[in-house]
């Protein structure tokens, strides 16, 4: 392990009965980067995170965090990380300040140092004015922010965030993403799981794509895009179902791949401007009428589609 690696995962496996939740994955997270685990629901992201944060023992393989093994040095690992769980986990009958103070103590903080840090975190998550209110009375967004704040108290070297933006309004989501970047700028390594590819694209230095317990792709955003070639995806909608249209488009010059999913037809092309007129022509030959077009420049969605034949959202 090189000195600037924060997390190293080696051949990690976790089975629940017949379900291979995590089936032999490897990756490294470098110090100071934002690393995203991207994948649909049920891909094994949370299981992986749980093993990294010492909540689950791996069946085999190894996890090193800041050089400490989760098996043999769980306490050192826990001291080094701050975990933001997917579900909001705080004491609703305690105030924001009481929650932060309690969790700070759990990380071994005491006295004036703790008090000062609680104030800083309250400021950071924008809850200073609401510090004395019981958190049960907070709005969903405020609870999310407090949920994150708890993980930041002890200046962890690694912050692990498990889908922190699930089910919240766009505004809170924006502020969380900005917050993550700010933390990263201050030097924290962030391991971030999401099934929103936009978040992964926007935040990450490296992205690992998981599906069915496997790591199916890993790299920087640019590296991953390159997997699908610089291809553009065109989503087309027809007025009526027409099975003949797919073979017809396949014949068009410049089309590299054609998919049909949930009534949506997708075509991967190198140059959309050149190919588009020909798609209309081909449709006409089989009596199909195109009623909608959506042109998508290459993104992670396309990468996932390319690798699994399924759209990311559909899981």
Is residue 106 involved in binding another protein (CB under 8 A)?
yes
Q: Which is nearer to another protein, 2 or 75 (CB)?
A: 75
Q: What are the beta bridge partners of residue 20?
A: 15
Contact call for residues 145 and 171 (beta carbons, < 8 A):
no
Q: Residues binding another protein: what is the number (CB under 8 A)? A: 27
Would you give the binding string for another protein spanning residues 29-68, x where CB under 8 A is met? ------------------------xxx-------------
Determine phi and psi for 105, rounding to 5 degrees. -65, -35
> Which tokens go with 11?
């051949």
Q: Which is nearer to another protein, 138 or 249 (CB)?
A: 138
* Residue selected from 87, 241, 253, 262 as contacting another protein according to rule CB under 8 A: 87
Query: In the window 65-84, what residues touch another protein (CB under 8 A)?
Result: 75-76, 78-79, 81, 83
Q: Which is nearer to another protein, 48 or 53 (CB)?
A: 53
> Which tokens go with 100?
């932060």
Provide the minimum distance between the beta carbon of 77 and another protein in the complex, in angstroms, as a whole number: 9
Q: Which is nearer to another protein, 106 or 293 (CB)?
A: 106
Q: Which residue, among 312, 290, 304, 305, has the nearest Cα to 236 in the 3D structure?
A: 290
Q: What are the beta bridge partners of residue 5?
A: 30
CA dihedral sign of residues 296, 282, 284, 286:
negative
Question: Taking the CB of residue 192, how many other CB atoms lie within 10 A of it?
Answer: 27
User: What 8-state DSSP symbol labels residue 95?
Assistant: B
3-state secondary structure of 71: coil
Would you give the binding string for another protein spanning residues 146-175, x where CB under 8 A is met? ----x-------------------------
* Residue selected from 23, 98, 201, 202 as contacting another protein according to rule CB under 8 A: 98
CA dihedral 281, 283, 289, 293 (to 10 degrees): -80
Is residue 85 involved in binding another protein (CB under 8 A)?
yes
Binding residues for another protein, rule: CB under 8 A, are 53-55, 75-76, 78-79, 81, 83, 85, 87-94, 98, 102-103, 105-108, 110, 150
């Amino acid at each position: 392990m090189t000195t600037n690696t924060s997390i190293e995962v080696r051949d990690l496996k976790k089975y629940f009965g017949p379900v291979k939740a995590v089936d032999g994955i490897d990756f490294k997270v470098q110090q100071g980067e934002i690393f995203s685990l991207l994948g649909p629901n049920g891909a094994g992201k949370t299981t992986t995170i749980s093993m990294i944060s010492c909540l689950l023992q791996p069946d085999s393989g190894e996890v090193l965090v800041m050089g400490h093994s989760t098996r043999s040095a769980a306490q050192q690992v826990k001291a080094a990380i701050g975990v933001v769980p997917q579900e909001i986990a705080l004491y609703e009958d305690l105030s924001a300040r009481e929650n932060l103070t309690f969790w700070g103590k759990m990380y071994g903080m005491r006295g004036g140092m703790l008090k000062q840090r609680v104030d800083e975190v309250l400021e950071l998550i924008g809850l200073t004015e609401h510090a004395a209110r019981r958190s049960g009375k907070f709005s969903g967004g405020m609870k999310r922010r407090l949920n994150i704040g708890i993980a930041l108290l002890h200046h962890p070297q690694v912050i692990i965030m498990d889908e922190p933006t699930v089910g919240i309004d766009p505004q809170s989501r924006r502020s969380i993403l900005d917050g993550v970047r700010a933390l990263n700028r201050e030097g924290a390594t962030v391991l971030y799981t999401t099934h929103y590819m936009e978040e992964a694209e926007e935040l990450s230095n490296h992205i690992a794509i998981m599906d069915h317990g496997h790591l199916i792709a890993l790299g920087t955003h640019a590296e991953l895009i390159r997997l699908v070639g610089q291809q553009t995806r065109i989503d087309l909608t027809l007025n009526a179902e027409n099975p003949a249209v797919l073979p017809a488009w396949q014949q068009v010059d410049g089309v590299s791949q054609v998919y049909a999913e949930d009534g949506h037809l997708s075509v991967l092309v190198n140059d959309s401007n050149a190919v588009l007129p020909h798609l209309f022509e081909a449709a006409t030959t089989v009596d199909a009428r195109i009623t909608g077009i959506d042109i998508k420049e290459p993104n992670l969605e396309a990468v996932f589609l390319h690798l699994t034949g399924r759209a990311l959202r559909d899981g």
